[in-house]
Amino acid sequence: MKIRTLVIAMALMVLAPNVSRADEGMWLLSLIGKNYDDMKRAGFQLTPEDIYSVNQSCLKDAIVGLGRAGSPFWHFCTGEIISSQGLVSTNHHCGYGYLQSHSTVEHDYLRDGFWAYTKEQELANPGLTASILVRMEDVTARVTENLSDDMSEADRAKAVAKVCKIIEEEAVEGTQYNAQVKPMFNGNQYFLFVHIIYRDVRLVGAPPSSMGKFGGDTDNWSWPRHTCDFSLFRIYTAPDGSPADYDRDNVPLQPKRHLKVNAGEINDGDFAMVMGFPGTTDRFLTSYGLEETMDITNKLVYELRTVKINILREEMAADQAIRIKYASKYASCSNYWKYSNEQNKALRTLNTMELKRQVEQDYSQWARYQRAFKYNEALDMIRKGYADRRDVRRAQIYLGEGLISGSEAMQTAASIGTAVEYYPDRDISAYGGYISNFYKDYDENVDKRVAAAMFAHVYAHMSPEYCPEFLVKANKKYKGNWTKYVDALYKGSVFANQEKWNKFMEKPDMKKLAKDPLVVLGKEVNALSMQLSSQVPTESKENLQRGIRNFTDGILQINQGKRLMAPDANSTIRLTYGNVMSYDPQDGVSYHYYTTMDGVIKKEDPDNAEFNVPERLKKLYKEKQFGNYTNRKGEMPVCFITNNDITGGNSGSPVINAKGVLIGLAFDGNSEAMSGDIDFEENLQRCICLDSRYMLWVIDVYAEAKNLIAEMDIVR
């Protein structure tokens, strides 16, 4: 988000920032009418009511937020309904964990792909949910009517929570809906979101990982791209159409709206919009927050995950069973590992720190002439708040990434130990399902290697002032031999492997469980993390919150009437719009707007698992069996790029053309603009998309899943 001063009046300082290009912004659907003229200029041919309406079916009714039971309003990915029978497309990496959970050495769906040629073959996924927006409403006036600047942040939070709960309960009374009030603009606005959440979502199809993850870590966050990043699910309901848990008698959802799927031409400059559930952006972040993000969060996450990733790579390459068990966990770990490093590179290259400081300088000039003192003190509050927590934040990341997320056995032991402590009357067998799922994708030797490496790294790099006492003692006792230390820990723990756990369950002993070495260590690390948080003065925490909210309010006041501003992403449904567009990332380099299957074949490397190409794909390519899915040049399109504004959570989002037709699935961004979550770079930011024609070709020709093609509305 770039805000630059154009006019500074002598009597009254007024900022008049440049109006950003229309493709910046993750816009709330109910307010999209304010952008309508810009959208038409970009090529949009529908109306705002075609996007969002509470009185008629519209595009929002075809957009699905994929989540997990227990966290219904956090969406890890987006999907779209592409048939009248509740068929949903999303990214391969969004369905990867579920594909992995159904895989075995005998039925390796990660390696071979999975296709259901009848509905009876579709696979249930307990805990997976699909949310569809029913309506949204601006409730700012009601939430804030009894708030004042004199309230403490704690009292303010309690007052907000109280009225939000009332609003949510009123919104769903007498319905099967779920509701949540979400803050926007760092607590300066509030919106109510009402969803219907379906709980029976089944796996329908996915290409093999050699296609769905083609390019792996090497190509991640880069263009040109040749990844077949899609998977298919289906939403089921009770016979009466209501949400229901999995049951054999459930029936496919009959949606209010589904998207037609494009098999026709896509041209450079075509209108493109993305609708989905973006997770988090932080475009009102100050230079002080940016410094913490770059020098602490991103730097340490990359450093610590590198240790873990190197071990997992070795273990997975050596054993198929290990590869299956750790595939999803590795993918999750490696994605943010590369993101954190590439974001720092982009932030430095694009000089984002200086841009933030310029914004703050302009803001300070404006604030001097405001009657409300809260604007003048906001930046000082923010600066001091970040400074006060700097050392603690560094220590917390070492604890979180290095220890809490290091040993899986220790993390599980701490969770069970804490649960038993809080719920002493609950039978230990109640945790059987959780433990069984844990051991299904766990290997003791791999976990011990990771634990030893993480213990060694944290001890060597963490400030001695905050380093856990058990690491200090272990280093002294075992003379720096962390493998020997970990061997001793696991030898004495019932959590080391499933055999030990099963033996413990034959005659459970709660006193023994409480003294289990992994339980003790896990609880110690968690307690230390909480203790660290308490070392930051409460006043400093409150001032940081207040400062951020008031600074954001000031930016909104400055820009009122000058430019439209979108709130940061927060896992609520949004729309971004722009165009299919090539770009020039650096001097002498130009990137075309699409890729073809030719690139898949040329990238093939039999000695590199990231660039393996299935024999069937090579055969079909050689025989030019492309069906009716080629472009006008006779090429088989694979991916394309747009200048849409996206972030995590948008994975799987539909890319929709001017007429409301699905032309692709968003699945990645480009490394040159990895600063985008913090500062949108309008000239470089690109959304990398799977071409719908490649998806259709894989379903139709490669997989021969004619049953799925038959239920789609395909347009050319």
| 223-265 tens-digit pLDDT | 999 999 999 999 999 999 999 999 999 999 999 999 999 999 9
Element (H, E) at 260: none
Burial zone of 564 (CB within 10 Å; 0-12 exposed, 13-18 middle, 19+ buried)? middle
Quick: pLDDT tens for 129-166: 999 999 999 999 999 999 999 999 999 999 999 999 99
The alpha carbon of 69 is separated from its chain's Cα centroid by a whole number of angstroms, namely 16
End-to-end CA distance of the chain: 38
C-alpha to C-alpha distances, 50 to 25, 30, 34, 642, 658, nearest whole angstrom: 20, 11, 15, 22, 11
Pairing of strands 261-262, 714-715: parallel
Binning the chain into helix, strand and coil, the percentages to the nearest 5 are 50, 15, 35
420 or 688, which is more confident: 688
Q: Which of the four pLDDT bands, split at 50, 70 and 90, describes residue 10?
A: very low
Q: Quick one: which of 434, 340, 695, 392 has its CA closest to 533?
A: 392
Catalytic residue among 83, 103, 210, 651: 651
**Catalytic-residue membership of 592:** no
Catalytic residue among 61, 200, 229, 362: 229
> What's the one-letter identity of residue 390?
R
Q: What is the pLDDT of residue 11?
A: 29
**Rg of the chain over all Cα atoms, to the nearest angstrom:** 26
Q: What is the pLDDT of residue 437?
A: 85
Catalytic residue among 23, 83, 92, 93: 93
- 99 touches 114 (CB < 8 A): yes
> What's the one-letter identity of residue 698?
V
Dist CA 109 CA 96 (whole Å):
10
- 226 touches 159 (CB < 8 A): no
* Count of Cβ atoms closer than 10 Å to residue 613 Cβ: 19
**Catalytic-residue membership of 332:** no
Q: What is the pLDDT of residue 23?
A: 57
Q: Which two tokens stand for residue 605?
A: 């490397």
Q: Which two tokens stand for residue 498?
A: 């499933």
Q: pTM to 2 decimals?
A: 0.91
Dist CA 279 CA 651 (whole Å):
10
Assess whether pLDDT exceeds 80 at residue 4: no
Q: Quick one: which of 464, 361, 468, 466 has its CA closest to 407?
A: 468
Q: Which of the four pLDDT bands, split at 50, 70 and 90, describes residue 587?
A: confident
**Catalytic-residue membership of 590:** no
384 or 23, which is more confident: 384
- 546 touches 381 (CB < 8 A): yes
What phi and psi values does residue 427 have, to the nearest 5 degrees? Answer: -65, 135
Q: Which two tokens stand for residue 291?
A: 């410094």
C-alpha to C-alpha distances, 334 to 214, 256, 302, 304, nearest whole angstrom: 15, 38, 9, 11
In sequence order, the 6+-apart residues with CB closer than 8 A to the CB of 201 are 66, 88, 125, 128, 129, 130, 233, 234, 235, 236
Assess whether pLDDT exceeds 80 at residue 452: yes
